[in-house]
Chains A and B, each alone.
Chain A
């Protein structure tokens, strides 16, 4: 079955710096790659997603890149702010209805 690995598990950056989180997957049939943000004590919420026919997508300070050949995708956050501090999860839809999540990255943005 599909396996999703997410790195790093913890990331600490200075306010204003960039943060990059990477995920790799194993099933080449996977076709949808969302990123969710979960603040402490709250539910996960989608922040950006990308389909397998697109290589990059950007939404203000957040971008996602996808390399289908290498089976990895990354979340890029520029000009980080303290409110970006949260746990970020990548996920993969396996072409059907299953969704596999990465283990999460706890991001700390120091003011």
Chain B
């Protein structure tokens, strides 16, 4: 089954404790992206990757890191989480060429930083 998976689905952590949210896709998509969703603000892009070892900042990259060492994986790293990073996070992937740029979203990770 074609899908995007994220882990963990729920995470409660404390300020300053490094964490990683994993994202994996099995559709051989070149493009992957991370978003955060907050009430009234829609989805805001954190980072995106056009292919292996190629990443760039979205609109809200501060406090986040990413890496793309393999085509299927795109982890999101919070080196020192803060309460303002409490949010719902979505990973997404798509092909970078072709007729449709439809993004396929993962199930989401709800992060709470206390």
Contacts and interface: CB of A to CB of B under 8 A. Distances in A.
Interface of A: 1, 6, 9, 32, 34, 43-46, 49, 89, 91, 93, 97-104
B65 interface: no
B45 A98 contact: yes
B42 A101 contact: yes
A11 to B, nearest CB: 15
A100 B45 contact: yes
A101 B44 CA distance: 7
A103 B41 contact: yes
**Contact residues of A: prevailing secondary structure:** strand
B96 A97 contact: yes
B50 A97 contact: yes
30 contacts: A1-B59, A6-B42, A32-B101, A34-B101, A34-B102, A43-B90, A43-B105, A43-B107, A44-B90, A44-B105, A46-B102, A49-B101, A49-B102, A89-B42, A97-B48, A97-B50, A97-B56, A97-B96, A98-B48, A99-B33, A99-B45, A100-B45, A100-B59, A101-B42, A101-B43, A101-B45, A102-B42, A103-B40, A103-B41, A103-B42
Contacts, number: 51
A9 B44 CA distance: 17
Question: What class of interface size applies to chain B in its complex with A?
Answer: 20 to 34
Contacts of A9: 40
Contacts of A102: 42
B100 interface: yes
Contacts of B45: 98-101
A91 B107 CA distance: 19
Interface string B19-55: 0000000000001010100001111110010100000
